[in-house]
Amino acid sequence: MELKRIACFNYTILFIAAMLAACGGGNEYSPKPRGYFRILYPEKKYQQYTEGCPFTFEYPKYAKIEPDKAPNAKPCWQNVQFPQFNATLHLSYQPITSKKEFNQLIEDAHKLSFKHTVKATSIDEGIIRYPDRRVYGIYYTIDGNAASSAQFFLTDSTKHYLRGALYFNSEPRLDSIQPVLDFIKKDVDVMIKSFKWK
pLDDT tens for 93-145 read: 999 999 999 999 999 998 888 876 667 778 899 999 999 999 999 999 988 88
Question: What's 134's DSSP letter?
Answer: T
* 25 pLDDT above the threshold of 80: no
What is the four-CA torsion angle of 19, 20, 26, 30, rounded to 10 degrees? 0
Supply the pLDDT for residue 193: 97
Cα-based angle 142, 51, 62 (whole degrees, multiple of 5): 55
* 5 pLDDT above the threshold of 70: no
Q: Where are the domains of the chain?
A: 56-197
- Note whether 95 and 112 are within 8 A (CB): no
Dist CA 41 CA 114 (whole Å): 31
Mean pLDDT over 147-158 rounds to 92
Instruction: Identify which of 97, 152, 102, 105 has the alpha carbon closest to the alpha carbon of residue 124.
Output: 152
Question: What's 173's DSSP letter?
Answer: -
Question: Does the domain at residues 56-197 carry the CATH identifier 1.10.3470?
Answer: no
